[in-house]
Every structure is written in structure tokens, then in C-alpha cells.
Structure 1
Amino acid sequence: MNIFSGLFKTRDAPKNRTSGSAYSFFMGASTAGKNVNERSAMQMTAVYACVRILSEAIAGLPLHLYRYNDGGGKEKAINHNLYKIIHDEPNPEMTSFVFRETLMTHLLLWGNAYAQIIRNGKGEIIALYPLMPNRMKVDRDEHGALYYEYMVSQDDAPTNKGSSVKLSPDEVMHIPGLGFDGLVGYSPIAMAKNAIGLAIAAEEYGSKFYANGAAPSGVLEHPGTLKDPSKVRDSWSQTFGGSSNSHKVAVLEEGMKYTPISISPNEAQFLETRKFQIDEIARIFRVPPHMVGDLEKSSFSNIEQQSLEFVKYTLDPWVSRWEQNMCRSLLNNNEKKEYFIKFNVDGLLRGDYQSRMNGYATARQNGWMSANDIRELENLDRIPAKLGGDLYLINGNMTKLQDAGIFANNPKTLNEEEEENEEQEILELQESKDSKPRKRRSNRENS
């Protein structure tokens, strides 16, 4: 049993690297010759834009704690202590928006988001604090149970003593990204470091191109032998280097000759390379190009559809990842039967005004939305119940499906039924007239 236990622990030990490979996330060297890590990647405008778009989108969504009610529906559990933490402020130092924005940034750059769960003596959650992913280690103990080890920094609270703090799984809210073991996510920056490195190299090439006076580098040829070549080179760079010295006329002495040896930016397809790398980075984060400023393939007819696809195919997987991991970490087994955490993405899926009104009209006429339901979605005040704001109406010319063939199953026609009804009414009226005189005669006889 000890042998199998050791194999199990070794196989399932969370690793921050691809399975069966020496490729490590902490080695940022790329094939373009540029070191790429989470912080250097954020200096790329495309990476910064994608991270900002996704983190602000998740942070800006309404987040509520719901409770199942007796009627089979749901209602906001505003009296639960966790509601204020996830909706308003997870801790006294930051709002819910900033907290979620920070964790989503960690998730997009490092592939993991961690938050320390602070509980009181009753076991109730009273605060959530974000933890840096690059200082967190996920491992297993001798019994195969998971634990988290966080490296303490000088910037942390002075109450922490030692170089690391060991945390149990119920003390950490962990949201992993895409990974092979389901426990630790892989850094998107590390997995796509070659594409990002090429973008950094192209940007640096453009910067140096203008720093050298927007002129290609070359060779200064002298017919004789120079005693101090570095002095000539430095003098040339000082006189003609930099964009402020571009297009100056060079005067060469002693038979010197300047020969350019580099290809021009047009021949190197500099602009095309930079533009393609922007699309490449947007593809990594699955962000539509028009949201990072590339409107080449966008138009008035398809940009709304692209925005809806952004919510469905980009945000929705992240939302589900957040919801399920928050429920797993912040709710106990008994609370999971009664409560759940939910983001509201309806605001991002709203169409134009005319489309919304047509949809509301259909829902109102078919009886599955009331006036107050519609006004709540439009952020309008509710109509008092006594004025019919909560009434569910339905079109009067509609009938149940089981009653649709009631006349077809009746052998009598509609005219025959009307004639029989008229005859029945006449007989009832006649009987009522005959009964009145008899009552009068009986009264005379009695008198």
C-alpha cells in the first residue's frame, strides 16, 4: 500500500509546468530573443488591453448570493454574512470591483487566482484577501491531502513570521485556469511566450529604428587604418543618431564611405508583422479584435453580433469558472443545498432599444413577464401591486391545446348547438311564466 500511495501522490502532485516536459513557466526566454514574463508582457499594448477588458468585464458584472425559496424560485440572500462580502467589499481595504479585477488579472497572467479566507470563531467568513500567484505553491502532504504554501514578502503584514505560511484548502479560495491536472492552471503568458516575444521584438525594432534617425544601420569604410575606430563610431552616432537628427546631410572626410547593410522596414514587412501579432495576442485571450482597436473587419452590421459572441464564448466560461469555485470554497455542505452564487450577464446581452421592446411585448402578451419584470430589467421603478404592476396577462383569443378540438369531436354543428340553446331558453322562460299564475290562483283559494 505504501508503494501505491507514493505513486498516487507523485502522479497527482500539482505542477506548474506541462506534463512530462521540462518546460517551466519561470523561464521566460522566447525564440525571438526576448524574455517574456507576466510583468514584461503587460508592457505590450495588446496584452494590456486584453487583460484590462476581461478583468473589468468580470469585475463590473453584478454578483449576488441567492437562496432557493419555497416557491421553487430564488431570492437575494441579503441577510447572509457572505452577501456583503462578495457584493460590496470583500475586505476593509478594497471594493468588490477592485477585488475581482485583481483576481481576474492574476488569472489571465499567471493562470491561477488565490484569495485567503478569513473566518471568525463561529467559522463564518468575514473577509477575503487576494494572494500573489507567483508566491503560492500547491502541494500534497504525506497523506496525499492538498495544502497551500505561501511565500511571505516584506510587503506583507508584519504579523506573519517566517518565510512561508502553510494554508489548508478551506482557508484559500483558488480559481484555476486551464490545466492538465485540474488543480493548477497554466499561465497563458508562458504558453504563448513566443508570440508575445515576437511582438516585443517588433516593437523594440521600431523604437530603435526611430532612435537611429529612421535610417538603416550600415558600415563606415575608411581607405586607411584608423587608430581609434570607436571614436569615429561614437562621433557618427552622436551627430546622426536619434530621430531629431534624421535627414541631416553627412560630410565624410579622408575618403570615408557609408554603406547601409540592413533591409528597410517595408522589406521586412514591419507593419504587417506588428498588426498580425496584435491579432495573435487577441486570439490567445479570445477577445474580438475590434475590442482592442482593430476595426478592419468590423462594420455596423456585424459589430453587435461580435459583442454578443464575446459574452457567450469569452466571458461565459470565465463566469462559470468563478461561480463554481466560489460556491465550492465559500459555502459549506449545508449551505450549498440552499444558497448559490450567480453573476448577472443580462445587461451585456441586451440588444438595441427596438429589439428589447419587441421582446418585452412578446413576453408580456404571452403571460410570462409582468410589467414590473420588464421595468426591473430596464432599471425603472416598480408599479405598485394595487395598480396591476405584478399582473400576468395573456391574449384572450388563445385557448388550451386540449380544448382546441372540442367542436371537431362533437357530431353536431355549431348552428345546431345554437338552435338547441335557443329552444332551451324559450322552454325555461315559458315554465317561469306558467308557474306565476298558478301561484296566484293558489293564493286566492287560500284567501
Structure 2
Amino acid sequence: MATPINVYSEIGTLKTVMLKRPGRELENLTPEYLERLLFDDIPFLPAVQKEHDEFAKALENEGIEVLYLEQLTTEALHDASIREQFINELLSESKADLNGAYQRLKDYLLSFDTESMVDRVMSGIRKNELEQGPRSHLHELMEDHYPFYLDPMPNLYFTRDPAAAIGHGLSINKMKEPARRRESLFMQYIIKHHPRFKGHDIPVWLDRDFRFNIEGGDELVLSRDTIAIGVSERTSAQAIERLARNLFKRQDQIKRVLAVEIPKSRAFMHLDTVFTMVDHDQFTIHPAIQGPDGDMRIFVLERGKTDDDIQITEENNLPAVLKKTLGLSDVNLILCGGGDEIASAREQWNDGSNTLAIAPGVVVTYDRNYISNECLRKQGIKVIEIPSGELSRGRGGPRCMSMPIYREDLR
């Protein structure tokens, strides 16, 4: 393989994708800490695993190679020194030193084989898992009812957000919410140390140390020369501009970045919850992101005359921008919920616009969004439905749950 990462479109035939099978981290959710951990409800683990397995099987049935984040991480941490470095970095980011448990947690994690250690890091470590050592600090002597030394990472099955493939490289993202910031550390170690990736000098267009936040659900690769990024609740304008500048300086294929402003709310968390590409000239959209006359704020960032220069123009009509930048004579916006005020709001909340394209005109969707799915079919789109009774409780759909690694180039 000349390069292990190749994503120059949203719709090119998907060959390799990374998932994370939901695990014990979901069983560490309790009502009291749902908001802290960014969940609205508690999925039933056996059921959510069964649904996720059906999602993976649907992809494999289409000839797609499915990789798993937990397995890749285990294989990347093959060396004892790498494993210790990973634990040091993870515990520091988790601020484990603040509760006086840093060394005990480190010793505890290093006592396991790598696979078990990765599972415990992802699942979270309860205080009752460690033998209580001597207490020598006031905060240790005072009663603390918080049950975790390390918080669980229940959002990990949304592999789209911590890192995003763009061309032959990645953005490894500074995520907005503290509950998710450690997640991008896994991909950093995978591309640096996993045998599949480490020898390929994979470019990182934006790293997780940049101080402004960006998340993969806002990053859409529309074509070989154009990407769109949502200015959203989770992605900042500063990060978009820095990513654009880095792309323009370090590669020649991508020529423009569309910064698409969407309402900053939990319901419209990322651009891909309200807008996705399903074919060369067809897109799903939640009508609520457009103004009364279909107007929006869209900023087109392009390379200037010098490496340090960048040109920014503002547009307000999404179809016009898509036609111009993608070289299309027309575009078809397929409305979530058929545009009905109630159905569109309900199905968008259940990720009716969050489609995963696995080939031009072929998408994976949640079965619960039957109105949106029928609208897609009426426009000639092949829809592969997956069960979603428990998966949808995490507020993310098929695109959220998948990180494409390799797509065939469009012809």
C-alpha cells in the first residue's frame, strides 16, 4: 500500500474504516454524571453492542475492511517504553495527580497486559478498584463521593470526531469538551507507532496541541480540492483558519475550505448532523440551518498570492457555493424528514441527516428515520438501514460512528 490513508471525497467507494465497539465504558454511566460525560441517556450495553455489530457487518457485507480503535491502540502500544509513555501522558491529561493517585494508577495500569490496560483506560477506573493507600493530604482525608479516579470515555464509539482523514493526512483534534479531549491521544499513538501507519510519514495538518477546538464531525471532504468545515458548537473559526493555512502550505490538492456557520446548539452539534453528501450532486440537509430565504453564512478560504496569504470571501447561498466550487450544473438538497416541521426536527434529533456514504449514491442510515430514508430512496439513493434503538441514545449516527481511512478516488 503506497499510503494507508486516502480520503479525497465524502462518497468515494469506502475501502477501510475505523470503528470502536461500545464497551464497559457505557456501564460506568450513571444519571448523576450524564451531563459531565455528554450523554442524555444510558444505553443497554448488550443491545447497543448487538446493534453496533450489525453496523460493522453491514459494512463488511459491502466489502469494507473494518478496523477497531481498541485493537489498533493495543497493537500500537507493543513496546513497554511506548506503553509507559502513553500512560504517563494519559494520566497527566486526566489530572490524576490532583487526587493523589498518579503513581498508584500508573502501577495499576502497568500490571495488566496491553489489551486489558487499554480496556481499563477506555472504560474508566473506579476508586474501589484500587486498594486505598495511605492518606497524607487534606483532600484525601476529606470525604469525596466522586466514584472515578479516571473518567470513562463513553463517546469513543463516535470515532469520527477525535481525528479526521483529509487527503493522505489527518487532523488530530483538540476537542472542545474536557470529557472527550483524551480521545485524540489514541490516534496520535496509532499513526506514530502502529506497524500499519508508522513508516509512512503521515502528515498531521493540525495537531491536538493547538489551543482552539475542532472536531471531525464538522469536517467534510467534498472533493479533491474542496473541503467544508462547520463553524459550530464544537469547532472554532480559529481552528478552521489554521487548518486551512496548514493545508495550503503543505500540499497542492486542496485549494479551498468552506467554513459553514451553523446554529451553536447541542441539537446541531456538528455540520454532519445537519448536512451530508450522498452522491456527486446530492446532499441531505436539515432545513432549520437555513434562513427564511435559504440564506446562510459561508466563508470561502482560498490560498493567496504567497504562502502566508489567504483570501476569504463571504457567501450566503449554499446551493450556489456548492455548484461553483464543485463544478456542478445543479445540486439537489434532500430535506431531513421531508421538510415537515415536526418530522424533520424529530428525525434530525435521531441523526436523520447523519448518513455515511460508502459509495456514490449508497448510504448507511438508522432505520428509525423512515421518512428521511424514503426521501433518499425517491431520489435514487440506495439506503442500507441499521438498527438504532440503543445506538441513537448517544446522539450520533452512522457517520459519527465511523472514521474512513481509505476511499477510492472518484473518476
TM-score, with structure 2 as normaliser: 0.22
With CA pairs under 8 Å and 6+ residues apart, which has the higher RCO, 1 or 2? 2
Q: Which has the higher helix share?
A: 1
Which structure has the larger Rg?
1
Could you state the TM-score of these two structures normalised by the residue count of structure 1?
0.21
Structure with the largest fraction of strand: 2
